[in-house]
Amino acid sequence: MALVYCGIDEAGYGPLLGPLCVGASIFKVDDWCEGDEAPDLWRVLKQGVCRASNDRQRRIAIDDSKKLKLANGSTTRHPLHHLERGVLACLAVCEEQEEEAAPVSDIAFLRSMSVSDACEAWYQGPPRAMPLSFTPGEIAIAANTLRVALLWAGVRLLGMRAEAVTEAAFNQIAEAAQTKAAVTESVIARYLSEVWERFACAEDERSGVRVVCDRQGGRVQYAQSLSRMFPEAVVTVVGETTSQSVYDIAGVGGVRSDGRARRMRVSFRVEAEAAHLPVALASMLAKLTRELMMARFNLYWCGRIPELKPTAGYALDARRWLNDVREFITADERRSLVRRA
């Protein structure tokens, strides 16, 4: 029996400026038995994958994006050095992308992730060349290392996604729901629906489906949210603790030939990126997407306003940045720039 194993994580939930980005990665593991826990893919893929960014074997570092991104002031390597290597190597072996040419620009990368073109002026402009810190040949070598490890382990990387919710959409969703948590939830709902339709309702009944989402804040209960996402399904609480909330979703799409309902297990776990490789990769996808979009943001505004310093968009520096631009932007532009939740 095989396991479809999906991870979801976000980057940019807290900032005042820039997009909220949510990433997802989908793996399929051949050697799995129903009832088993999701496998440790760092162990399964240890021939080509590691957590450490300074691995002597030059394996692919996949980990929480906060651990892999270098400081913006780094003078030895590009701040996105490790994120870019991991994400582009994975993209090269991803079954949905493998036949396509490697992205040669930030625009090409964002489109390969299915990120919609943003309408805001500060995300527009000509493509910026990629890779940022490697040659295409170096990325190809890293991808081949990963490809061999996947083949030997009986694991396939089926899909990679990122969604960017820019400021206007963020404010609209958060204000309608009276909580910014609804913004992330709306993207998670689309990812869960896709995984359900593609895998839980598929003709191949020999696959289990597990989805792990990184959990933010102190929220423990998600059953009502899942019931709204899947109104015709039965959502069963498997367990709700301070560290992890687990649910089975069953019933949508009829029953299997053995008489059992279609089923998908969904977990919301604190620091899930430390325990589940698909979540770590989703974290890297989300972070790289946000960083590329913030580079466009800063290029636009620094080009328009003399001596303006770039911002990462987080609260303290965002307030500094908004103070620096106050004489150069209109009230409408300020309203469009600032996330209000």
Can you tell me the distance from the alpha carbon of 114 to that of 164, in angstroms, rounded to the nearest whole number?
9
Q: What percent of the chain has pLDDT over 70?
A: 95
Task: Give the lowest-confidence range in 57-66, 180-189, 195-204.
Answer: 195-204
pLDDT at 123: 95
Task: Give the lowest-confidence range in 98-112, 134-148, 200-214.
Answer: 200-214
Is residue 291 included in any domain, yes or no? yes
pLDDT at 257: 47
pLDDT tens readout for residues 230-240: 998 999 999 99
pLDDT at 253: 57
Q: In the chain, where do the E strands start and end? A: 2-11, 20-29, 49-50, 60-61, 155-165, 207-215, 234-240, 244-255, 261-270
∠ at Cα 84 (311, 3), nearest 5°? 120
Is residue 206 included in any domain, yes or no? yes
**Whose CA is closest to 10, among 241, 178, 215?**
215
- Quick one: pLDDT band at residue 183, thresholds 50, 70, 90? very high
Cβ neighbours for 59, distance < 8 A, ≥ 6 positions apart: 46, 47, 48, 49, 50, 145
pLDDT tens readout for residues 155-181: 999 999 999 999 999 999 999 999 999
Is residue 193 included in any domain, yes or no? yes
Domain count, the chain: 1
Task: Give the lowest-confidence range in 68-72, 145-149, 153-157.
Answer: 68-72
pLDDT at 162: 95
Judged against a pLDDT cut of 50, whether residue 273 lies above it is answered with yes
CATH number of domain containing 50: 3.30.420.10
Judged against a pLDDT cut of 60, whether residue 254 lies above it is answered with no
pLDDT at 277: 98
Is residue 77 included in any domain, yes or no? yes
Is residue 136 included in any domain, yes or no? yes
Q: Domain containing 268: what range?
A: 2-296
- Quick one: pLDDT band at residue 205, thresholds 50, 70, 90? low
